[in-house]
Amino acid sequence: MTKKAWGYITVYDPSMAEKAAEMFNAFNELWPGGFGGGTPYTDQRVHDWLDQTSALADLIAIDDDGELVGYCGVYPHWRDPKAAYVSVLGVIPKVKGKKYGKRLLLKALEVCKEKGIFRMDLHTWSGNLEAVPLYKKVGLFWVPETTVYMQDFLPGLMQIPFAQEWFAKHPDWYNCFQRELEQEEDKEIIDGMEIYQYIFEEGGDKLVAEVDRYGWGFCGFHRILDDEELSIKTRVKSHDILMGVPNELTIFIENGTDKDLTIGIIIDSLKGLTWSKPFPQSILVKKGESIEINREFVVDNTAETFKGNERSSAVINSRLSVDNYNFLLITSGKIQPAVKIRSLEDFERIPIGKESVISLDLINNSKMTISGHVDSFIQGIENSQQNHSFKLKPEEISAIQIPITIPIDAGSNQFIINTTPIIELEQQEAIMPAFYYSVLAEVKGLTELIEIKEQNEVYLIADMLGIKAALEGGTINFTKGEGNGGMPIRHQTGPPYGLSLDRTLMYDYRLIKQDKSSILVLSAESRQMPGLQIEKHIKISPGQTEFEYWVTYTNLDPSSALFVGARTSVGHRGISLNPFTSFESSYIPINGKIIQGNSFTNFLTDPLIPNDPTIWSETWTAAEGILKNEIFGWSWNPKNISKIKVQNGMLSLLESETMEIKQGQSYRPVHLWFLFDMNSLVSFRKRWNQLIGNKTISYLDQLKGPEITKALEMEFEKDNILLLGQENIKKVIITFVSPYPLPGKLTLKLPQDWQGAFLTKEGKQDSIPMPEPAPFSNKRIELEIIPPKNTNSLVEGISVHFCGEFELDFELPVLLVNPKQKVLIKKKELANEDILEVSNGRLKFCISSDIGGNLIRLEDDKQRSFLLDSFPEVKPRIFFANHLGGLQPMIFSLKQNNPFNELESVECESVTEGSWKGVQCSWTIQKEKEYLLGQKFKMTYLTLPGSNIIKIKIAHENSTKRTIAFVGSLLADIALQGTLEKNVIEFPSTGQIWTRNPHQKAFISPLLMDNSWARVYRDDQSIVFVVPEKSSGGVVVLNLGPMIAGWVLAFAQTKPNETSMLEFAIIINQSKEKISTIQKAFT
């Protein structure tokens, strides 16, 4: 390295990782969307990126203080062995304008020249207003019709002897370079061709080098040096080289030297080109003379067509020997059929036995009117030949229509439409390339292989899904049956990793049939690691909605072992506008928890989520699709996996262990599945468990789903009860899953007339900074909250508001207690039977303390009743054989034919749990003898002073060696003020609240496991049955004519020597607007 006054450029070393992370984080201010996706860099992330790369040079700029201030990654080009690619170029904000970016680029050009590289490419964006002029000043040209691909041919120019002589005299090429630095594409047309011009001038000397922008090589030189001038160049008449349309190549030579020159000429034609007559092998150009030699040519349908602006076209090589110089002049153009056929889709599905019409575009690529016809036929269908005449205006897009009826007894599911345009020019016909279009029968059990030769792609299509495989590079794209929802998967062999030569590796393919499944196998020998055979396997089956993918390495090298690993990246990079793969919520199972993230934050993104596989409790990531209400995601085999990376909570990369593979041995570095159209996270995990997990998933997890932890959440450390009119000191726990930086302020959002503040060491504060996040950590903040003395609502939602990068509200529902009131529990007699009476100043109820443990005689402070009972008599009511009424506990097994067991004898006593007081009833099952005999249960009814809420808990203690599955429930006999008249039922379903007015017809509301509640009201009186948010239960209301029953139930499974707990709530005289707050308050 050469140190200079302004700092110096060197090559990255792993010892720089920590400082490099600081530098890359500083790039954020200048990088659209934040450098690296806006996720902070750590030293480990830098090690993962730069320690083992395939770079020609990872250049680092260091200032005079030793601070890392800039980076430029120079890598081998994945398609062109004579080119390099700049992966990243950036500097930190404080050195912006100090020429570090320029010096990094100049050093990159120097590296390319030293390594024999002829061209250096990069991508940027059109709005990079300051960088594009810099790029152009160092020789980069913006390729037209791209956003924004740039090419620099200076490294190659510096290696051409004809130019080297000029630069030997004028070594400061940068200041000699004449260039307009416009913020636009470089589309300069000279002699009818699109050309990039390098012009250097100093004194009276001049050097011009011209690049054919389609051929990606020099097509002309003009040099004035020491009063001698020589110009040599090639031109085509039109850069639009159309099949069947005559064109012309011209060689121009201008001899301004002091002697005659004999020019040797060798022309290497491109495939499919025919000359009107050959060029001479040599020609004499006298001093002071200028000559031009031209020959007409035409290309046919075997010529390689133009593949896009980021690939070189096929070229004509003109090898000219002049004096002591040998010139290779590159000439090309946009080679296309004069008329071509195109489809909007790669294939089409149609029903059998019915006529369908296939429409294909017919395009005139020329600027003249062309007539002709299209011959077509359908392979597999007799008498399908057709002739379609056309006359197309210049650049017109028309269409042909081909009718097709797939016979019911065709015996095949794929039919290929063959189309061949034939044009007529000057009474001669020219055949254009044929176009093939596959049509599939829409049938059950479909599995078909489709080859798209024009695009080097193959499809493997089944009835529910499909695979699209690029034979160049081997990228796999999974699609759903309708062709939508593509999810890519890419493979990279290493180490080293980075821009790999295998990116353009051409794969062979074969299809293996295995029972009802089909396996597409892509095979190739690695260029990145010679001697290594790569085989990618993709397995699908008709009727299934999953893909299986694995890679096998085999060492073909007869002389040495190979050390090889793999990086498998999945999902979309950058911005994806595909609605079929868009998601809002994502889930990852790490550190024994299932964490919920989302698509619009980086809370669950590498490196904030460590890539250590040992933190993964299960090996999958899943997401909820936005367009379709489905769960989709990735599952993988953890064997051989050394690193796991996620992006927004979805798998982004698996890195396998680097293994030694001896001669003839094989290694499977990765094995994964993509699952979609799953109806719930429960079914997704169940399928993962069948494929890989082999673990026991609990009964409740299978029923309700696993407990979910949000990536960032707040909750009260203990209870959420506040005393009216008093200072309440509460601690709140903030749970961080990742250390995503969240600079910003927390403020309290309280209802009207409430007071509150944060309590800090400095005293009370209206706002505080968000605590510094740490991975899988809890931070505590302390609040003082003073609700008003008088309020009608006994449940409220307060929140802590975060204002920073995001605006977030963390809901903290609270229950309110009047400190002047008390919960009183009295032993009484009712109808000569013992009961326990509970009152709290707002409601009153009784518990039958000898039998059943029923809650009866519920009244509000206006002495209005809510429930009917027949206490103390147990008797049939409709189809309930053993009915006492009120709120009746019912414990049963789903295996029972009749869940309505006889009432058990109970023992009841008063209990206190913090601010809650009430009655607990205990019993041992004796009446149900088949499944639950001998099982012990406790039913607890609790309330708060002055509250309208009754909290109900069912506890089961299993002291046996059996696993006990049961349903814990309460059946309410509802009749507001003792009558069914005007009793209206409300409940949630299908995303809205339904109201069921009084009616003679029987009615049953749906049993929902999410957001489950029901409300029965009559004027301003109501009773609400609620299941907390994370409960495994639901609520059903039955209108049976002479009876309205509210049935609150939950499912449980208790393992030996363990205890299960179920929880419900009943609220009287409560508006429906606060029900969701109540559900959260009990979570």
Whether residue 718 sits in one domain with residue 704: no
Give the model's pLDDT for residue 53: 86
Q: Determine the Cα–Cα distance for residues 913 and 918; give it in Å rounded to an integer.
A: 9
Single-letter residue type at 564:
V
Q: What is the pLDDT of residues 655-710, one digit of tens each?
A: 999 999 999 999 999 999 999 889 889 999 999 999 999 888 777 777 767 888 99
Single pTM value for the model:
0.86
Q: Determine the Cα–Cα distance for residues 599 and 826; give it in Å rounded to an integer.
A: 55
Residue 577 has pLDDT above 60, yes or no: no
The CA distances from residue 453 to 435, 472, 484, 871, in Å, are 9, 12, 21, 83
Question: Alpha helix (H) ranges present in 127-177?
Answer: 131-137, 154-157, 161-169, 173-176
**Would you say the C-alpha torsion 829, 830, 835, 838 has a positive or negative sign?**
negative
* Structural domain count, the chain: 4
Let me know if residue 728 belongs to a domain.
yes
Joined tokens for residue 87? 């992966």
Q: Is 522 exposed, middle or buried (0-12, 13-18, 19+ CB in 10 A)?
A: buried
Let me know if residue 737 belongs to a domain.
yes
Q: What is the pLDDT of residues 1002-1044, one digit of tens each?
A: 899 988 877 889 999 999 999 999 998 777 789 999 999 899 9
Whether residue 632 sits in one domain with residue 485: yes
Let me know if residue 1036 belongs to a domain.
no
Residue 5 has pLDDT above 80, yes or no: no
Q: What is the pLDDT of residues 835-884, one digit of tens each?
A: 999 999 999 999 999 999 999 999 999 999 999 999 999 999 988 889 99
Segment 959-963 mean pLDDT: 93
The 3-state DSSP class for residue 929 equals coil
Residue 120 has pLDDT above 70, yes or no: yes
Q: What is the pLDDT of residues 136-166, one digit of tens each?
A: 999 999 999 998 999 999 999 999 999 999 9
Q: Determine the Cα–Cα distance for residues 781 and 285; give it in Å rounded to an integer.
A: 89
CATH code of 784's domain: 2.60.40.10
Domain boundary among 379, 411, 443: 443
In angstroms and rounded to an integer, the radius of gyration of the C-alpha atoms of the chain is 39
Q: Determine the Cα–Cα distance for residues 1062 and 955; give it in Å rounded to an integer.
A: 6
- Beta-strand runs (E) in 365-407: 370-379, 386-392, 397-405
Let me know if residue 841 belongs to a domain.
yes
The 3-state DSSP class for residue 132 equals helix
Range of the domain at 375: 338-443
Residue 98 has pLDDT above 70, yes or no: yes
Segment 393-401 mean pLDDT: 97
Whether residue 946 sits in one domain with residue 925: yes
Domain boundary among 384, 415, 443: 443
Q: How confident is the model at residue 485 (pLDDT cuts 50, 70, 90)?
A: low
Q: Determine the Cα–Cα distance for residues 830 and 578; give it in Å rounded to an integer.
A: 68
Largest separation between any pair of C-alpha atoms in the chain: 135
Q: Determine the Cα–Cα distance for residues 970 and 314; give it in Å rounded to an integer.
A: 80
Buried b / exposed e along 3-40 (16+ C-beta atoms within 10 A): eeeebbbbebeeebbebbbebbbbbbeeeeeebbeebb
Whether residue 578 sits in one domain with residue 552: yes
The 3-state DSSP class for residue 704 equals helix
Give the model's pLDDT for residue 1082: 81
Let me know if residue 986 belongs to a domain.
no
Q: How confident is the model at residue 1 (pLDDT cuts 50, 70, 90)?
A: very low
Q: Determine the Cα–Cα distance for residues 549 and 672; give it in Å rounded to an integer.
A: 5
Let me know if residue 1028 belongs to a domain.
no
Q: What is the pLDDT of residues 780-799, one digit of tens each?
A: 999 999 999 988 788 999 99
Q: Determine the Cα–Cα distance for residues 313 and 309; give it in Å rounded to an integer.
A: 9
421 cis-preceded (ω within 30 degrees of 0):
no
Whether residue 828 sits in one domain with residue 797: no
- DSSP β-bridge partners for residue 200: 177, 207
Give the model's pLDDT for residue 2: 45
Whether residue 716 sits in one domain with residue 674: no
Closest residue by Cα to residue 803 from 837, 767, 855: 767
Joined tokens for residue 791? 């309020």
CATH code of 607's domain: 2.70.98
Domain boundary among 443, 465, 499: 443
Whether residue 829 sits in one domain with residue 766: no
Residue 4 has pLDDT above 60, yes or no: no
- Contact present, 880 and 917 (Cβ < 8 Å): no
Q: What is the pLDDT of residues 104-116, one digit of tens each?
A: 999 999 999 999 9
Let me know if residue 191 belongs to a domain.
no
Whether residue 950 sits in one domain with residue 968: yes
Q: Determine the Cα–Cα distance for residues 19 and 71; give it in Å rounded to an integer.
A: 12
Segment 449-469 mean pLDDT: 92
Whether residue 856 sits in one domain with residue 780: no
Whether residue 898 sits in one domain with residue 811: no
Let me know if residue 251 belongs to a domain.
no
Give the model's pLDDT for residue 38: 67
Whether residue 534 sits in one domain with residue 508: yes
Quote the distance between the C-alpha of residue 77 and its chain's center.
27
Give the whole-number percent of the chain exceeding pLDDT 90: 79
Whether residue 512 sits in one domain with residue 574: yes
The CA distances from residue 701 to 383, 697, 708, 862, in Å, are 60, 6, 11, 43
